[in-house]
């Protein structure tokens, strides 16, 4: 049997280049390696844990995130794509796992702590939000996932899932599969900065390039990128550190891009050296980056257009995926009920 891989996205907005390098690209490569059985899902229940007052935002983005996944190359023939809320088995698992974690443990989770601060929840944390790592453990274990490709910020959440698996298995007998996070290989891909130079691309920060942005919008965002504020005249020496354009080139540029778009250099190091020396203007570097980003986005936009025009097909993929996922989660739930001893009427 193949090892199982599972990952999900919260549908709170369209997905952007940070998601692409941090997670989407990786999951498509893993899918195409043929080595794993793969589940990808849209975590609408988790999104509701901090958006209960605006469910329409979550609802609208379920389709957007499905489109984002399909357009980057998630193939429903190879990957089961489903919607979390359509699998009530996950909520029952969550109920059992809630008893295995203390409130103080949840409050210590660094990712959740950060998110509470970002959302101004310090004085009034929704209980469902504080406990989302437990629900996430249900998502992961329901499908017997061994590998969970995620961004670095999710590591503490996966650690929480591992603790739950440990506790469950030692209390009720070996039942659940121990999961492990798979992280992006390159550091720059672990956290792509925002176009404004802020540490992270964030939907709420307005500093993202979305996979669904039009070429004009992408160009405008690249042209407005934060560079080196002291690099005023072309002749001035420029700084690479903290210069977003070069961070993006680190993430996306390959040597072959120079052959195609810029014959002045043969690799990124040469271009960086010129910039540092002085004599290379920001606009030139930005145009180069724009071409590279567009090379990635053109095929994604094309696929997206196809699926946007064939939304019935998208819904069918989600219905079939959810049906298949429900079966798998149901099997795990049966095992869990037996292990705890709440299967009173089974013969």
Residue 21 parent element (H or E): none
CB of 9 to ligand TRP, least distance (A): 5
Q: Which residue, 41 or 275, has its beta carbon nearer to ligand TRP? A: 41
CB of 148 to ligand TRP, least distance (A): 5
Q: Which residue, 161 or 244, has its beta carbon nearer to ligand TRP? A: 161
Dihedral angle of Cα 238, 241, 242, 246, to the nearest 10 degrees: 70
CB of 284 to ligand TRP, least distance (A): 36
Q: Which residue, 24 or 150, has its beta carbon nearer to ligand TRP? A: 150
Q: Which residue, 87 or 285, has its beta carbon nearer to ligand TRP? A: 87
Which of 143, 140, 114, 142 lies closest to 129, judged by CA?
114
3-state secondary structure labels for all residues of 111-126: HHHHHHHHCCCCCCCC
- Which residues of the chain form contacts with ligand TRP (CB under 6 A)? 6-10, 43, 46, 136, 139-140, 148, 150, 154, 157
| CA atoms within a 13 Å half-sphere pointing along the CA-CB vector of 326 | 11
CB of 75 to ligand TRP, least distance (A): 19
Q: Which residue, 62 or 148, has its beta carbon nearer to ligand TRP? A: 148
Can you tell me the distance from the alpha carbon of 329 to that of 80, in angstroms, rounded to the nearest whole number? 13
CB of 111 to ligand TRP, least distance (A): 8
Please list, in sequence order, all residues whose beta carbon lies within 8 angstroms of the beta carbon of residue 220, skipping any fewer than 6 positions away: none
Which of 57, 24, 7, 56 lies closest to 204, judged by CA?
57
């Amino acid at each position: 049997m193949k090892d199982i891989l599972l990952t999900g996205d919260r549908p709170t907005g369209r997905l952007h280049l940070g998601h692409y390098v941090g997670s989407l690209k990786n999951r498509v490569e893993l899918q195409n390696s043929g080595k794993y059985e793969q589940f990808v899902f849209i975590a609408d229940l988790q999104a509701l844990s901090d958006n209960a007052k605006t469910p329409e935002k979550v609802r609208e983005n379920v389709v957007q995130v499905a489109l984002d996944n399909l357009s980057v190359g998630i193939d429903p023939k190879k990957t089961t794509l489903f919607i979390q809320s359509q699998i009530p088995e996950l909520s029952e698992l969550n109920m059992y796992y809630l008893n295995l974690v203390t409130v103080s443990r949840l409050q210590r989770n660094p990712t959740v702590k950060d998110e509470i601060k970002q959302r101004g929840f310090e004085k009034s944390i929704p209980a469902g939000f504080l406990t989302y790592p437990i629900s996430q453990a249900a998502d992961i274990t329901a499908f017997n996932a061994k590998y969970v490709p995620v961004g670095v910020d999710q590591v503490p959440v996966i650690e929480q899932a591992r603790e739950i698996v440990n506790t469950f298995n030692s209390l009720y007998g070996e039942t659940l599969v121990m999961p492990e996070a798979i992280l992006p290989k390159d550091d720059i891909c672990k956290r792509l900065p925002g176009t404004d130079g802020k540490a992270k691309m964030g939907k709420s920060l307005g500093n993202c390039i979305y996979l669904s942005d039009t070429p004009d919008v992408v160009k405008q965002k690249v042209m407005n990128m934060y560079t080196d504020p002291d690099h005023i005249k072309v002749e001035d020496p420029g700084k690479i550190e903290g210069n977003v354009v070069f961070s993006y080139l680190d993430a996306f540029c390959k040597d072959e891009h120079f052959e195609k778009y810029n014959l002045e250099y043969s690799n990124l190091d040469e271009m960086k050296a010129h910039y540092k020396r002085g004599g290379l203007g920001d606009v030139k570097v930005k145009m180069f980056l724009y071409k590279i980003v567009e090379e990635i986005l053109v095929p994604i936009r094309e696929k997206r257009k196809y699926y946007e025009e064939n939304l019935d097909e998208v819904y069918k993929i989600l219905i079939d995926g959810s049906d298949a996922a429900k079966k798998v989660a149901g099997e795990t739930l049966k095992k869990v009920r037996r292990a705890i001893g709440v299967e009173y009427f089974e013969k």
